[in-house]
Structure 1
Amino acid sequence: MNVDEQRRAAGEAAAALVRDGMTLGYGTGRAAAAALEALARRKLQVRGVPTSERTADLCRALGLALTTLEETPELDLCIDGADEIDPRKQALKGGGGAMVREKLVAVAARRRLLVIEEPKLVPRLGTTRGLPIAALAFGWSNTLRRVAQLLPGAARRDGLNDDGNVVMDAPIPAGADLHALAHALKDMPGIVDHGLFLDLSPEVLVGTPQGVRIF
């Protein structure tokens, strides 16, 4: 299977774990979209909280019912993708800029599935991309300078995310203490959240050339 086929196979496997009547977290990105498309084909009575406006639009097009965290504060299952996953199942997310909503939905779910293709498995987070960081638009240039002092090479993306936040990307140094880095960023004035998803105990469905395996 090529990478697209791996992604679709993992999405199908995730959708097969959904049961009628469940409340869900609907993730953002290509892998999450593959799972949602597979879920829609099952014609179950489910409803879910979308993690981005584009996911909400996709769900409406697929006929998947929507809810909010205000209406449904506890979810049965969250299905999402990831940009990288390391051997301890720590995840890096936010390539699409939706990591703030994705994290809020993930922590509201009793069970979390991450759907990826095999190249997303990495020896350490930061291997293939920088760490996405969401910051308030107000004073963003000062915030970026502070981030760059901690993580040299940090840069702002163009535009704003769905929440009106600036998104930055910063290299993660080899050997970095991820927990210390996560705390340092959260303590920094102007930072809303970041793409380190640590210690959330996800079940990882990996599409490989040989089929789907659970990691």
Structure 2
Amino acid sequence: MHEATQMEIKALKQAAASHAASLVAAGMAVGLGHGSTAVAVVPALAERYRRGELAGTVFVPAAHFMAEALRRHGLPVGSLDDWPVLDLGIDGADEIDGNLDCVKGGGGALLYEKIVAQAARRFVLVADAGKLSPRLGTRHAVPVEVTPVALAPTTGFLNEIGGNPALRLRPDGDPMRTERGNAILDCAFGPLADPAALAAVLDARAGIAGHGLFIGLASLAIVAGPDGVRELARPAG
């Protein structure tokens, strides 16, 4: 089996995105994350909107980048202030396991993405098959968003629990900052035996504003691979 090219991956993302767009119905409040596959959903939504299939639908973005993409395509943009409960949330992921738990945050919008995901009655992941993983942490570091004043002690804490944190930098070498001005530490924990337990440890630490472990949120994953587009449901129990 050959390694997928960037062009093939882009085509797979588009196939998954088009399928995800079909889940949106008229009158829904729909949350959209920042992932590249979530951004790929926007043109398909815009086409349905132009055909009159999504009357009354409003889209709540998790990042300014997504808000701009929605506006460029003429789609109505809302906020959680007006729609605190969303009918549907759609987002990509960096790594997805068999329980549909996932690692997110490669684009740096992990805190807002999780807020939007938790506000959704139904949260759906869209991805190419290369994002599937037998165990989270196998293929992707866990991003941890940290309040600047807590950066030094949190770096020490993450080292102590085996995270091997690395400060995420911009291309010019300065620390990358989120929309809230926070720093991101990418933590190479390695394959995680218990992602939920690690998420609880990170949630309990003051100074950590958010992390990229999305546990128990997704009910469905739309995954595109060489054999077509599949819907993967969260296992029962």
TM-score range, shorter chain: over 0.9
With 5-14 and 184-193 compared, the bigger mean Cα shift is at 184-193
Distance 1:102 1:175, change over 3 A: closer
Query: 2:179 — aligned with what?
Result: 162
Query: 1:195 — aligned with what?
Result: 212
TM-score (ref. length: structure 1): 0.95
What does 1:82-101 correspond to in 2, within 5 Å? 82-101=93-112
Query: 2:230 — aligned with what?
Result: 213
Gaps of 5+ in 1: none
Percent identity over the alignment is: 40
CA contact (8 A) 1:125 1:172 kept: no
Distance 1:142 1:175, change over 3 A: closer
Query: 1:114 — aligned with what?
Result: 125
Q: For 1:14, give the aligned amino acid.
A: A
Distance across 1 between alignment mates of 2:207 and 2:218:
28
State the Cα deviation string for residues 21-69 of structure 1 (Å, max 9, x = none): 1100011121001111211111123212111111111111111111111
CA contact (8 A) 1:12 1:35 kept: yes
User: Which of residues 15, 29, 48 in structure 2 aligns to 1:9?
Assistant: 15
Distance across 2 between alignment mates of 1:141 and 1:106:
29
Cα offset, 1:139, TM superposition: 3.0
Cα offset, 1:174, TM superposition: 2.9
Matched residue of 1:11: which SS? helix
Distance across 1 between alignment mates of 2:126 and 2:19:
9
TM-score (ref. length: structure 2): 0.87
Distance across 1 between alignment mates of 2:26 and 2:91:
19
CA contact (8 A) 1:112 1:201 kept: yes
Matched residue of 2:199: which SS? helix
Query: 1:40 — aligned with what?
Result: 46
Aligned residue pairs, count: 215
Distance across 2 between alignment mates of 1:109 and 1:139:
30
What does 1:6-85 correspond to in 2, within 5 Å? 6-43=12-49, 44-45=54-55, 46-85=57-96
Matched residue of 1:73: which SS? coil
Cα offset, 1:175, TM superposition: 4.5
Gaps of 5+ in 2: 1-6, 170-175, 233-237
Distance across 2 between alignment mates of 1:16 and 1:152:
39
CA contact (8 A) 1:14 1:35 kept: yes
Cα offset, 1:173, TM superposition: 3.1
State the Cα deviation string for residues 121-140 of structure 1 (Å, max 9, x = none): 01111111200111101231
State the Cα deviation string for residues 148-197 of structure 1 (Å, max 9, x = none): 21134211112201121111100123343212211111111210111111
